[in-house]
Amino acid sequence: MVFFITFLRALAACLITNAHYTGIYPTDLIANGGLIGDILFFAVSGYCLCNVKMSFLPWYGKRIYRVYIPVFIITVLQLALGYYTFEEYNLFGWLVYPTAYHFVASIILLYIPFYVVMKVKNLRNNLGLVIGACFVLYMAIYIFVYDKSYYHIDDVHEPMIRFLFMECMLLGAWFKQNDKKFRNKFKYRYLITMIVLFMVYFASKLLFLHGESVVAFQIINQIVIFMLLFFMFSSFAGLDSRLEHLPAAVKKIIEFISSITLEIYVVQYYLIEVIRPIGRFPINWILLTAAIILSAFLLNRICKLIYSLIDTCKNKYIGR
């Protein structure tokens, strides 16, 4: 895999996990960046899944079982431990849809329109226009339907956020199509713009959260973060060969984190609740991070064994 994509996947996992570390740091202002991690994940998915060659059911089935097996395992375990209860969801809700994990609930839906766009030639060859059309629909709903009385545009549990996630998947696919224009063609202006947009994004969050007079314009927050994603991809794609030449030990750490990102995502919630009260920073941070990584690694190994068994059974069945 292209290494800058491996790097961005690992970075996304770190940002999302960091955003959940409320009560861990001396100030919760540090526990931030989760939505940036989310959009990176969706963009990386779009980049990696751009070249669709299979028919829908085999393609979608492969995506689904890769996502759901770790979700099934960890959800059943946490139901058994009593961390999850049936007050919020029934068994179907916990294990199938919407699940406790907003990322899973979003991506299993967005895989469908993404597949259609990638398979229809006129759409695939005009991703910029498709992204624009998605944004126009988003704006229409925002103007005529959305509740703009308070700041919630970046709430990942609201359906509206899926317009942003879909645009990010399509942007990732667009970068894949235009890979030669960006990879190993680093430009300092991209990096500077990325840093500026990063600061503007967090400033806009504070502005709309505390500024009642401007909250009706909170859509700007989503426009800024989408622009930030563009320049993050541009910058790190331009640094691909330099990232490849990182020290071997650093690359192994990045590759390891990148290989267990989904597992990191699904194991962390229970562990955060259990370990948060233990000690003070940085002891609690060290204990929690170590527990998440170890648990994610073990879950990843179990899932790989299950994938292997499923593939073996499938091959035997096909071979009959």
pLDDT of residue 121: 93
pLDDT of residue 93: 87
What CA–CA distances, in Å, run from 67 to 55, 106, 168, 315? 19, 12, 19, 21
Residues 6+ apart with CB under 8 A from 227: 197
How far apart CA 17 and CA 8 sit, in angstroms, is 14
For the segment 134-156, the average pLDDT, to the nearest whole number, is 93
**Contact call for residues 176 and 47 (beta carbons, < 8 A):** yes
- Using 50, 70 and 90 to split pLDDT, how confident is the model at 317? low
Q: What percent of the chain has pLDDT over 70?
A: 98
Q: Look at 6-10, 86-90, 119-123, 222-226 and tell me which has the smallest mean pLDDT.
A: 86-90
Residue 80: CA count within 13 A, CB half-sphere: 6
The values of phi and psi at residue 11, to 5°, are -60, -40
For residue 319, pLDDT beyond 70 = no
For residue 160, pLDDT beyond 60 = yes
Q: CA 157, 162, 168: angle at the middle one, nearest 5? A: 125
Four-residue CA torsion sign, 202, 206, 208, 213: negative
Q: Which of 45, 67, 52 is nearest to 171 (CA)?
A: 45
For residue 85, pLDDT beyond 90 = no
pLDDT of residue 308: 87
3-state DSSP assignment of residue 43? helix
**Contact call for residues 115 and 52 (beta carbons, < 8 A):** yes
pLDDT of residue 211: 85
Q: Which of 297, 265, 294 is nearest to 20 (CA)?
A: 265
**Contact call for residues 267 and 74 (beta carbons, < 8 A):** yes
At 20-30, the pLDDT tens digits run 999 999 988 89
For residue 210, pLDDT beyond 90 = no
Q: Report DSSP letters for 210-269, one per residue.
A: H-TTTGGGTHHHHHHHHHHHHHHHHHHHHTHHHHHTS-HHHHHHHHHHHHTHHHHHHHHH
Q: Which carries the bigger pLDDT value, residue 125 or residue 314?
A: 125
**Contact call for residues 281 and 24 (beta carbons, < 8 A):** yes
Task: Report residue 254 CA to chain centroid gap.
Answer: 16
Burial of 14 (0-12, 13-18, 19+ CB in 10 A): middle
How far apart CA 119 and CA 54 sit, in angstroms, is 10
Residues 6+ apart with CB under 8 A from 54: 62
Q: Quick one: angle between helices 56-81 and 283-319, nearest 10?
A: 130
For the segment 120-135, the average pLDDT, to the nearest whole number, is 96
Q: Report DSSP letters for 139-161, one per residue.
A: HHHHHHTS--SS--TT-TTSTTH
3-state DSSP assignment of residue 12? helix
